[in-house]
A and B are shown apart, each in its own frame.
Chain A
């Protein structure tokens, strides 16, 4: 199919919101850029290209930045550490912000750990072996979680 704007170049489908919902427009990339401005993807690609101090591939899972650009997906949690420098501007473009301020599993668990440590002392004082065992188990779960959460 040819571009509906210039009628010369090969068109590709783009989703746009128009009256009464989503429509597909068939334009060539050039005309699309002229009509609607650059796409987010172009920004991201240029940022990824300019990133310097990043490894070629994630040491944990082997995902490359090239793969990320193609699929939009990272391979594992460690990719975020490996490609951090390249990802920060990318995330800035996608999200508008780069700092999480919401729910934090570690902070919530640290609060719980403090409470449990007090309860553990009480249980020991009372000689409540059953309670002590339960609290210790829960603490071990939390500690494993928290130490696992640190880089």
Chain B
């Protein structure tokens, strides 16, 4: 059986934190009576410069409806901190959603590049290019000793967070996460649940990223993350095989139950939805379920469906706020259709 790397390392993201030299950092800027004018000026400068490069859509967070903002948060294009700063914040996002430049989040600039699959070097190439362009509009706050200056010292130096989303159903089911976590922390890396800071693991998705940002070059950071990812991929693949050997029928039962419920349910909440889909995806990686598509393509399609079925994403499809009960019914209906459409072969 050929399980590709990308059934474990699902997506890659790099973000750079930057600040401008002559403005207070955003939390301080908020206290200033001229905050809004200064913010508008910053946004204008960056927007003009970036739009010469490629197409970016500008979102003024202050004028977004609550639901539209939640939609962008669910798609990881903006953060809750950005929404919290809505008086002064904005985001520039490419139509393909690969590049997002947040303005006045915790720092003046948070530039991020997101991609399907695993290629940190490509991600860094893309985002450092964007960084060079922004650097030309306004001087960044930079210090020979501390590197790029950030509002919080945890981001000093490179200001870089390189993170890889990893699907680890076997490792987490077999209680091996603790071992990975302590191993990684010794290497200056960290593990978080899928939806970022402080969240628990959702759907067996874990985010591996560098903790240390200062004193290492960007290349050294990328190499450290890369080494860890490679080891974890091998670890997960080995555990999947072991699990299959040891738990065979029970595991297949779990996968098929998930498939049965997701195909036939009439109401489903987010929590159960995530759990069942984690089982279903595990079934795809173990070869219990397949389709006309390649396994990794099928997994990507499933991830797109999961994102589209989050609450604010559902609301956006309806252009109105649905009640939770309405959402749960809609999610069930669409999931049944989705699974029939993908023609999964059991």
Contacts and interface: CB of A to CB of B under 8 A. Distances in A.
Interface of A: 15, 17-23, 60-61, 63, 71-77, 80-81, 84, 87, 90-91, 94-106, 108, 141, 144-145, 148-149, 151
B152 A102 contact: no
A144 B27 CA distance: 27
Interface in B128-158: 128, 131-132, 135-136, 139-149, 151-154, 156-158
A76 B136 CA distance: 20
A103 B128 contact: yes
Given A76-B25, A77-B19, A100 B215 contact: yes
Contacts of A141: 136
Given A80-B146, A102-B147, A95 B212 contact: yes
Nearest to A24: B200
Interface string B7-24: 000000000000101111
Contact of B178 (A18, A77, A96): A18
A45 B149 CA distance: 21
Interface string B200-217: 110000100000111111
A108 B136 CA distance: 12
Interface string B208-233: 00001111111001000000000000
Given A100-B156, A100-B215, A149-B21, 10 more contacts: A22-B201, A72-B154, A73-B106, A76-B23, A95-B156, A97-B214, A100-B157, A101-B217, A148-B21, A148-B139
A139 B273 CA distance: 57
Contact of A73 (B22, B151, B158): B151
B147 A15 contact: no
Contacts of B215: 95-101
- A-B pairs, top 8 by smallest CB distance, nearest first, are A97-B215, A100-B147, A77-B141, A21-B201, A75-B28, A102-B158, A148-B139, A95-B214
Contacts of B158: 100, 102-103
A21 B176 CA distance: 10
Contacts of A75: 24-25, 27-28
Contacts of A81: 143
